[in-house]
Structure 1
Amino acid sequence: MSAAAFRLALATSFILSTPALAQQGPPTVVVANPIEETVVDWDVFTGRFQAVESVMLQARVSGYLNEIHFQEGELIQEGQVLFEIDQRPFDAALDEAVATRDVYIAQRELAQIELDRARELVERGARPQSEADQALAEFQQAEANVALAEAGVTRARLDVEFTLVSSPITGRISEHYIDVGNLVVGGPNGATELANVVSVDPIEFVFTVSEADYLRYARLEGLTIPRSNRDTPRPVYIQLMDEDTWEREGQLSFVDNQLDPNSGTLLGRASLENADGLLQPGAFGRVRVQGSPEYQALLIPDDALLADQSDQIAYVVNGEDVVEIRTVETGPIHRGMRVIRNGLEPGDRVIVSGLQRARPGSPVAPQTEDLTAQLEE
């Protein structure tokens, strides 16, 4: 192709494309009015589950372990016998205590006879009063010996009962920490740990809030956190680490009476049902606590927001179809949309799609969309 022919082709191409460029017009964007809705802010804290009741089983008497009456990890009932220590030494001690009591009872009966005889002789003048006084003292000593022996029998019977270690609560038991045939050390100090029992239903969720959060709660009108379980419980919602919804409802049952001076946090505790036993003590989760009273807010898709250094901005199309910038104050996500506290009006046309084609101060061709269908339940 000659140079003249190339220039002719190039000119022809430019002439043909010029009308298309002229007809392109403003870029198309999708706009929508913010949704007005009553919302509540929720604060989320991480915590862990703990049993309402937890008991470490220990024996009150020492002896060799004879039997274990449970399967590890099973649910047990209050009063169920779990461990049995060899009773034979304690049965022998009980027999000895009973025999000793019988001896003292016989001595008391003899002392009663001697006291009656001494009093009769004193009344006749055949014996001095000192002999009656001596007989009375011996009878009183015999009575004290009987009372002491009765206490010994009671103590021996208790020792026999203590050879059967039962659960004081209903719950799930751990593995047994000692096997049959081993020596069990009992008593208040240094007792052998046999197993652990934790209650299952209900269960508690323990978490901490910062001092700033507590002060904010305490100053919200009508939303003061209860300072003890004597106040009206507040509803909270709990989520396991692998869950996306907040379907587990509980009650805020306790808030501590002072902040931890080391961490600057306040302990809170919620109680919730655990009928299926899924929630295990020690497991981590999240709790959602009401952080504000109800208020009116506007909702827009989170994708409709842009970051401008430390500010959040939205593009709004005015009445002349020209793009404007609005700096907004944002809140949490509510029903899948971002809460806008300030910066937008209900009738504003916010660009929700095509942001990359919009330029502040430039005209656009808006297409209206309804956001209601995008709200999550």
Structure 2
Amino acid sequence: MATLMRASANPGRPFECLHLFLLAFWIALVSLLGGCGASSDSPAGAPPPPLVKVAQPLYQEVRTWDDYPGRIEAVQSVDVRARVDGYLEKVNFRAGEQVEKGDLLFLIDPRPFKALLSRAQAELEQARARLALARNNLARAELMFKSKAISEEEFDARSKGLAEAVAAEQSAEAAVYSARLNLEFTEVRAPISGRIGRELITAGNLVKGGGADATLLTFIVSTDPVYVYVDVDERSALKYRRLAGTECQAQAEKGVGACMLADMALADESGYPHHGRIEYESPRLNASTGTLTLRAVFSNPDGLLSPGFFAHLRVPGSALFQAVLLPDRAVATDLAQKFVWVMGTDGKVERRKVTLGALVDGYRVIAEGLKPGEWVVVEGIQKLKPGAAVKPEKTTLPQAGSGQAK
């Protein structure tokens, strides 16, 4: 009993137990860390290979295109002006509507012109009566001259009187024709079919007709088809001429406009949904700008294309050729070098330097460095390094569309 009491009274005993406990805990922790380090070298603990999408390059017939900014213009544009003086009596259209050639647009008060026509017609009847009298007088003069009843001077006077009467009739007929024209001009009709602007003069106003200072009433622009004008540099113009000669031998006599394709997009459109053709090139280079004007024509049945709109025009920059294509996003850059990631048969990727060509419908032409049949990483290239194993998901690239011949 005394011995036990002495042992429990020893103050160093609890600290010795705590020391042993900490030592055992430290040994267990070291063993655990050693086990984790050993397992990090094992394949079972390695991070999984990155998941990427791979595809074989397209091998497709395409052409390159050149893009130019341009403006849409109307094939026909007319300023409608008054041709006779008078008060405007009626406006016979709504601003902005489609009108057809010959439609009545404005009516100028026709009453003064009807009166002038009636007067001219009366004067014509007088001239015709005088002409008939002159013919009768000359016929009687011929008989009398044969019988020596009148002098030669009198006969000549009656002969010249007939000529004067004929001229007077012709003058009266011209006056009637002019009066009838002026009466017709009181009805201002559409000279072309197209979309009409607003009325610049309202009913009740006095308008002036004829000459350079004639009153402008409105304007009309044709809407279908429409033109798009662009300016190209001299080298491009020569390229297009040679290309047209190569592809259109059968129509070479018609020039570049006979066979050159053209696509167009408006300011808010993606892609080039409108299809037309180049049908005119300026016969002379603009020496001050070094450019040549090309004109493309496009159908516009729904009236979407309005004169004055900004447009993107593209024209073929090459003939059709077989090309190796990849999505542009699959091409990476290292300083000045362009490369792609190619997956080998062992499931590992390698960097492949490539030479790039033109961009066609979101696809990049690979001029050198690839051949059909190889598997190339098209998504997930940011995760890769040379020799890395990957987990590939094979996919098929959709065919390029508008880069092909239409």
Does 2:203 match 1:176? no
Is 1:90 the equivalent of 2:113?
yes
Task: Give the partner amino acid of 1:262.
Answer: S
Q: Does residue 323 of the first structure (1) align with residue 350 of the second (2)? A: yes
- Deviation sequence 1:325-345 (CA, Å, 0-9, x none): 4132232133x4322122222
- Does 2:391 match 1:364? no
Deviations 1:167-219 (A, max 9, x none): 12222211100011111111132111111112222233333333232222233
Quote the Cα distance in structure 2 between the aligned partners of 1:226 and 1:312: 41
Higher deviation after alignment, 108-117 or 171-180: 108-117
Equivalent residue, structure 2, for 1:116: 139
1:351 corresponds to: 377
Determine which of 188, 204, 211 is the counterpart of 1:188: 211
Question: Is residue 295 of structure 2 the alignment partner of residue 269 of structure 1?
Answer: yes
Q: Residue 222 of structure 1: SS of its match in structure 2?
A: helix
Query: Equivalent residues in 2 for 1:1-377 (5 A)?
Result: 9=29, 12-13=32-33, 16-21=36-41, 23=43, 24=46, 28=50, 30=52, 31-220=54-243, 222-223=246-247, 232-317=258-343, 321=348, 323-334=350-361, 336-359=362-385, 362-373=386-397, 375=399
SS of alignment partner, residue 332 of structure 1: strand
Could you tell me how far 1:35 is from its partner in structure 2? 2.4
The answer to whether the 8 A contact 2:72-2:310 is kept is yes
User: What displacement does 1:294 show?
Assistant: 1.6
How far the C-alpha of 1:104 sits from its partner, in A, is 2.4
1:26 and 1:212 map into 2 onto residues whose CA distance is 54
CA contact (8 A) 2:72 2:306 kept: yes
In the alignment, structure 2 segments of 5+ residues that lack a partner are 1-17, 402-406
Contact 1:56/1:197 (<8 A) preserved: yes
Structure with bigger helix share is: 2
Q: Name the CA distance, whole Å, in 2 between partners of 1:49 and 1:210.
A: 20
The residue identity in structure 1 corresponding to 2:359 is P
C-alpha contact (below 8 Å) 1:227/1:256 kept by paired residues: no
| Same amino acid, percent of matched pairs | 34
- The change in CA–CA distance for 1:264 and 1:282 in structure 2 (over 3 A counts) is same
Q: Which has the larger radius of gyration?
A: 2
Structure 1 unaligned segments of length 5 or more: list them: none
Contact 1:60/1:186 (8 A) holds in 2: yes
> How far is 1:111 from its partner?
2.5
- Give the TM-score of the pair, scaled to structure 1: 0.86
- Return the offset for 1:33: 3.2
- C-alpha distance in 2, partners of 1:128/1:296? 101
The Cα offsets for residues 90-129 of structure 1, whole Å up to 9 and x where unpaired, read as 1222222222223322332333333233322221123221
Given that residues 226 and 254 in structure 1 are in contact (C-alpha distance below 8 angstroms), is that contact kept between their aligned partners in structure 2? Answer: no
What is the alpha-carbon distance in structure 2 between the residues aligned to residue 62 and residue 259 of structure 1? 45
Shift of 1:10: 6.2
The offset of 1:369, in angstroms, is 4.1
Alpha-carbon distance between aligned partners in 1 of 2:320 and 2:91, rounded to the nearest angstrom: 57
RMSD of Structure 2 on Structure 1 (CA) = 3.1
Mapped to 2, the partners of 1:87 and 1:257 lie a distance apart of 48
SS in 1 for 2:165: helix
More off after superposition, 364-373 vs 142-151: 364-373
Assess, with a 3 A threshold, how the Cα gap between structure 1 residues 370 and 214 changes in structure 2: closer, same or farther: farther
Q: Distance in 1 between matches of 2:166 and 2:242?
A: 69
Distance 2:115 2:166 in 1: 25
What CA distance in whole angstroms lies between the structure 2 residues aligned with 1:255 and 1:183? Answer: 44
Provide the C-alpha distance between the structure 1 equivalents of 2:256 and 2:237, rounded to a whole number of angstroms: 18
Using structure 2 for the length normalisation, give the TM-score.
0.81
Structure 2 CA distance, aligned partners of 1:49 and 1:20? Answer: 68
